[in-house]
Structure 1
Amino acid sequence: MPTASTALITGASSGIGAEFAAQLAARGHDLVLVARSADRLEELAKRLGDAHGITAHVLVQDLAVPDAARRIGAELDERGLTVDLLVNNAGFGTSGRFEAIDGQRDHDQLMVNVVALVDLTHELLPGMLARGKGSVINVASTAAFQPTPYLAVYGASKTFVLNFSMALRQEYRGRGIRVLAFCPGPVETAFFEVIGTRKAAVTGSFATPESVVKAALKALAADRAYVTPGLSNALNAHLTPRRPRVLVAAIAERMSRGVRDARQGG
């Protein structure tokens, strides 16, 4: 994959983010670990530093606040750090009937999944351009490929991430910047505890963080536009856009009813 002296990973304290940190550290990258959990970040930074001889910087930041990316950029400048690989991994979901979901929670979801991702890309991509190299991995989801009833805001946010990433890739091809949309299916992480039900994994099958992150880094090295680890996920990603949109939404609603029923208690 492209040489990057330092990789910044949001949502790095657990799950896919922590796995990105581990695999990148094993490849010799220094790290900037961003999340809200200071203790978990410090533990991860020490463990990876001891294991791989890299430097892992900890940056505690809530990405739901409006100026989160600006604060991160200012902190990087103060520490004299440049970032050559940005992994916009942080994100969470809400589930259930739209009217039953707390509006502030959905607002915060969009701030983390969409606004912070765009703002942080604005903060770091110009420096990559100036240096003539850099990479961005934006974590989307297989939910990005169709409407997702009962996970409506989450699915829509990931559709934004996918289309935003692919547009940027086209803008910056030939200018030294690689942009990858990473679209995993269900992964064994705390995501489903936060969202409130494992039935949000409508396929019923789960991958490991290790396997999907490995696939993402391989796809970045190959300069792919997006990757959906797993054969069934890849097939659905390619076939779904070829079906009528209303039919896709109807099928997705039927498949997501388990999420609705779980949130209603039956």
Structure 2
Amino acid sequence: MSTTESSSQFNNLETLSTHDLLAGMNSVDQTVPQAVAKALPQLEALVEATVARVGAGGRLFYIGAGTSGRLGILDASECPPTFGVPHGIVIGLIAGGDTAIRKAVENAEDDAEQAWRDLQAHAITDRDIVVGIAASGRTPYVIGGLAQARQHGLATGCIVCNAGSAVAAAAEFPVEVVTGPEFVTGSTRLKAGTAQKLVLNMLTTATFIRLGRVKGNKMVDMQLSNHKLVDRGERMLVDELGISQPEAADLLRQHGSVRAALDAYQSS
């Protein structure tokens, strides 16, 4: 049996107080970063492969089902506003299509052929990289998609939460974060989902830092899409250039992004 499906170390959950439920979940959640740390060498290899493909004009695709698929879509959706990259550089696909983002689509994950069809709809090429996300490591949608992608010469990676899985065997760059039994037996939206979110954060953040989308420690290419982000951009310019807030605001209005404002000011 996979460790994510093995019995919880806690029992009689329905008899516990709210305090004890929360304390129990918090105690097991503290093991997740430790599990991620053990997988850092594997994650490093996946990041390097992703940097190489995206840096050469390729794209990063995520494929997954259920919670795993939704986490991939979440990470993909956050890359344009955070790093200023175009939509379509990071793409999340979920078994069952967009409907499955909000509502479970029964049996969609059991179709081993659908992921490749979904990828082909995006005119996928051997310049791209496909990362399968599956806590169990045995989702047919993900296994089939990775196998087809690899057969067609694409780079492939995965994020799984069990050792020795079929998904990992199908990927060239597997990342295995072994999180163990869940607080509620088999509920991989808990520890496993947390681990996947951490790894996804690290994968795209490290990739886009390596590709020059961060300067110092600042998101200089972020989209200035609301007042909070405009204020953050102004503070970046104040800190970096030693100018006043009104000057920073004017500079940002003129040039539209922190990077463009920095470049214009420093070249003047």
Shorter-chain TM band: 0.3 to 0.5
Structure number with larger C-alpha Rg: 2
- TM-score under structure 1 normalisation? 0.39
- TM-score under structure 2 normalisation? 0.39
| Structure with bigger RCO (C-alpha 8 Å, 6+ apart) | 2
